[in-house]
Amino acid sequence: MSSLRFLVDVNVGLAVADGLREGGHDVVFAGDLDWRISDADMLSLAHSEQRVILTMDTDFGELAYHSQQPHAGVLLLRMPGANRNEKIGVVQQIVDRYGEQLPGQFSVYRQGRLRIRP
């Protein structure tokens, strides 16, 4: 699989960003930019740099899916209470299996299932 471009939200964590980097992906961690970056600014930056946003923030559903703001892809993890290792494992499985389908799509992972919407 080819390298993907991600913008990882602070709520997902630096460990997940580092795991994606180790997997050969081009990753920006939002905390390295500005810990207080707004969701709208994050979505705009990710779109301009063609990065899939990796987040646990459901507000991106409103921005990207319902309001149809332009985006390069959103992967929303619905994993309340998940620890770092659980998130790393799930993200690795999703990227390995569905990575090529993520760019440009709004995807939601919940309870062991991934739903990818255009």
Tens digits of per-residue pLDDT, 46-80?
999 999 999 999 999 888 877 788 999 999 999 99
Closest residue by Cα to residue 54 from 107, 1, 3:
107
Tell me how many domains the chain contains: 1
Average confidence (pLDDT) over 17-21? 97
43 pLDDT band, cuts 50/70/90, is very high
Q: Is 98 exposed, middle or buried (0-12, 13-18, 19+ CB in 10 A)?
A: middle
Q: Please, where are the H alpha helices in 14-112?
A: 14-22, 30-33, 39-48, 59-60, 84-98
pLDDT of 93 strictly over 70: yes
3-state SS class at 78: strand
Helices (H) and strands (E) in the chain, counts: 5, 6
Q: How far apart are CA 118 and CA 31, in angstroms?
A: 28
Neighbours of 14 (CB within 10 A): 14
Domain housing 64? 5-117
What pTM value is reported for the model? 0.94
The torsion defined by the Cα of 42, 44, 45 and 46, in degrees rounded to 10, comes to 80
Average confidence (pLDDT) over 85-97? 96
- CATH, residue 68: 3.40.50
What DSSP designation does 72 have? S
